[in-house]
Amino acid sequence: DSGVTQTPKHLITATGQRVTLRCSPRSGDLSVYWYQQSLDQGLQFLIQYYNGEERAKGNILERFSAQQFPDLHSELNLSSLELGDSALYFCASSPPQGRVGYTFGSGTRLTVV
């Protein structure tokens, strides 16, 4: 157990639908990062939150959004799903600035049919 919890582990949904992926960071970590891993794109950074605020954006589609709540857990919302959104979605967390470390969750495998 890495300390970063992602739910659900697997998700199968139809095109056009909306899903929410959840991430609870390791205790004490303030940053949450979301990554998408697909066969053709590799590990792509989507978005980072730090203590509730959006810190950085990567290759995140407009159909995707995220937020980090006061208890520091984060949710990634994927809407109007397409077949190409099928991928493994990872969440990682890191401690406050000045300390270095990234811990990954075990991921959510999303299959869009």
Partner 1 sequence: AQSVTQLDSQVPVFEEAPVELRCNYSSSVSVYLFWYVQYPNQGLQLLLKYLSGSTLVKGINGFEAEFNKSQTSFHLRKPSVHISDTAEYFCAVSSNFGNEKLTFGTGTRLTIIP
Interacting residues with partner 1 (CB under 8 A): 2, 31, 33, 35, 42-43, 45, 48, 50, 55-56, 58, 90, 92, 94-107
Residue with smaller CB distance to partner 1, 13 or 106: 106
80 torsion bin: left (phi>0), alpha (psi -120 to 50), beta (else): left
Min. distance of Cβ 52 from partner 1 in angstroms?
15
Residue with smaller CB distance to partner 1, 14 or 97: 97
By CB atoms closer than 10 A (0-12, 13-18, 19+), residue 70 is exposed
Min. distance of Cβ 42 from partner 1 in angstroms?
5
Longest dimension (CA), the chain: 43
Whose tokens are 């208890």? That residue is 71
Min. distance of Cβ 80 from partner 1 in angstroms?
25
Residue with smaller CB distance to partner 1, 43 or 113: 43
Cis before residue 8, ω within 30 degrees of 0?
yes
